[in-house]
Chain A
Amino acid sequence: MSQSASYLELSYLQVGLATLLILFNGALSVALRLGLGKRLLVASLRTTVQLLLVGLVLQQVFSLRHWAPVLALAFAMVVIAGIAAVRRTTHRYPGIWVDTTLSILVSSWVIAGLALGAILRVEPWYLPQYAIPLLGMILGNTLTGISLGLERFTDTLTRGRDQVELLLSLGGSRWEAALPAIREAARTGMIPILNSMTVVGIVSLPGMMTGQLLAGVSPVQAVKYQIVIMFLIASATALGTVGAVLFSYLRLFTRRHQFQFEALRDTL
């Protein structure tokens, strides 16, 4: 490969050298009786096993050069992100799994699709080298936004049940009664990405940009990619969060302008 000259290939021996550092940490924990040894061991093993498995899958998908496995992998990533997002919520209602997965699916696929087809103009569009990492970065952030947004939405409704019902009792529509919670939820879901957009490059270099720099890409190019990615993530997070909150609004507020408080269940 022509680009092999621009970065250093790693051997398993080199990975093993990094493992020595973890062993040193473990020894430190034992010596100081920090009680972290076991957790460190499990975490390191998980890192190794999970990444090796992902590597194997990616290697396969990359070598097949066909749209079907790329789409299948992308779909699996969405489902896993959906499960992860719901597991972070403490108030749930029947249908939250569908709402969450659907809003993650739509927001991430629409934004990733636009990025591949209209912005980066990758040929063919499913080229896994672009499609998979792009989708991965979008998903990781969207799921955070969605779970924060849904958590805030259901929490505001649970704590503020009296306020919601006050508005309904006085003749407010379901939209008027839910709007304060919807606003609150959308803002909360967007906080992490807005924060990272504010400090990006100042406090730390983002992972993708770091990766590109390590791979020998020029800093200007890496920065351009990073800007595009940040905007993609922000758009997908906004779309996904608002989508999930609206889906959940439609489930919790009936057409007869009733708030179905009883549908909300605490998982704690």
Chain B
Amino acid sequence: MYHQTVISDSKTTLLSASDLGRRHPGDDGWLFHDIDIDLQAGDRLALVGPTGSGKSLILRALALLDPVDSGEVLWRGHRVADAEVPTYRSQVTYLQQRSPLVPGTVEDNLRVPFDLQVRSKLPFPRDEALHLLDTFGAGDDFLAKKEANLSGGERQIVGLLRAFLAQPTVLLLDEPTASLDRDSAASVEELILAWQADAAEHRTYLWVSHDPEQVARVADRTLKLARGRLEEGA
């Protein structure tokens, strides 16, 4: 399947970056450069490339977690001011390869985003959490489960649910299934696809993956990264 990048009028550009680059600290080389990315509402984009090609660093730069040496990230066409960065990140959320959990129960973890100033007016959506848990067969008792007793797959699911509940528009997914066994990987993948399909016009992701089969399943468009530069492919 081949998808031409069509900029239709009905779609809004959410996140864009042009000429994005970051230098290797200490020498003249680039970690990545000349990166042009255009994420539109509803996009399901994959970013592929060999290990060490800078995929994670690009995701981090798009989440404004790292400084860049050239180019700029625009949100709905505007530069994000320093003070607006937390609000931006509540919309464009980077998910680490293994979701770090805080000590405590699953519920404690799901509550983390709602303790932050950026969502101070939102109460913790417990019903929504239970509904999401229900979709993969877990119930009330799972909320009370201790973080230390979770399996790798469960940890990843808790990390994802935590992000979903916080209602981002764009998810920057850093190999979300890489460290999981087959079954867990399948449920995590399913969960993300379901999240996007739930509001397919709006919800958007950029998915870093090194598994071509997975890319075929989850992405409409693929960006290939080689030696720190991008090329668009099928």
Residues of A near any B CB (own CB < 8 A): 162-163, 165-173, 176, 254-259, 262
Contacts and interface: CB of A to CB of B under 8 A. Distances in A.
B216 interface: no
A169 B86 contact: no
A171 B65 contact: no
B96 A167 contact: no
Contact of B117 (A173, A258, A259): A173
Contacts of B63: 169
Contacts of A166: 96, 99-100, 102, 112
A163 B25 CA distance: 24
Contact of A165 (B65, B82, B85, B90): B65
Contact of B64 (A162, A170, A256): A256
B96 A162 contact: yes
B205 interface: no
Given A171-B166, A258-B65, A165 B96 contact: yes
A173 B65 contact: no
A202 B166 CA distance: 54
A170 B67 contact: no
A65 to B, nearest CB: 53
A163 B166 contact: no
A169 B116 contact: no
Interface residues of B, number: 28
B62 to A, nearest CB: 11
B85 A256 contact: yes
Nearest to B64: A256
A233 B24 CA distance: 45
B202 interface: no
22 contacts: A162-B96, A162-B100, A163-B100, A166-B99, A167-B112, A167-B116, A168-B65, A169-B89, A169-B93, A169-B95, A169-B96, A170-B112, A170-B116, A170-B166, A171-B113, A171-B118, A171-B119, A171-B166, A172-B118, A256-B67, A257-B64, A257-B86
A172 B119 CA distance: 9
B86 A173 contact: yes
Contact of B25 (A173, A258, A262): A262
Interface in B100-129: 100, 102, 112-113, 116-119
A172 B25 contact: no
Interface of B: 25, 63-67, 82, 85-87, 89-90, 93-96, 99-100, 102, 112-113, 116-119, 162-163, 166
A234 B113 CA distance: 36
A170 B90 contact: yes
A173 B115 CA distance: 12
Contacts of B96: 162, 165-166, 169
A71 to B, nearest CB: 40
Kindly list the 10 A-B residue pairs having the minimum CB-CB distance in the complex, ordered from nearest: A171-B90, A162-B100, A171-B118, A257-B85, A170-B113, A255-B82, A171-B89, A169-B94, A171-B86, A172-B116
Contacts of B64: 256-258
Contact of B67 (A162, A163, A172, A258): A258
B163 to A, nearest CB: 7
Contacts of B66: 258
A178 to B, nearest CB: 13
A165 to B, nearest CB: 6
A127 B66 CA distance: 52
Contacts of A256: 64, 67, 82, 85
A176 B94 CA distance: 17
B65 to A, nearest CB: 6
A255 B64 CA distance: 11
A18 to B, nearest CB: 54
Nearest to B63: A169
Contact of A169 (B65, B82, B119): B65
A168 B82 contact: no
A265 to B, nearest CB: 12
A168 B85 CA distance: 9
A255 B102 CA distance: 25
B154 to A, nearest CB: 17
Given A171-B90, A256-B82, 6 more contacts: A167-B116, A170-B113, A171-B86, A172-B86, A256-B67, A258-B66
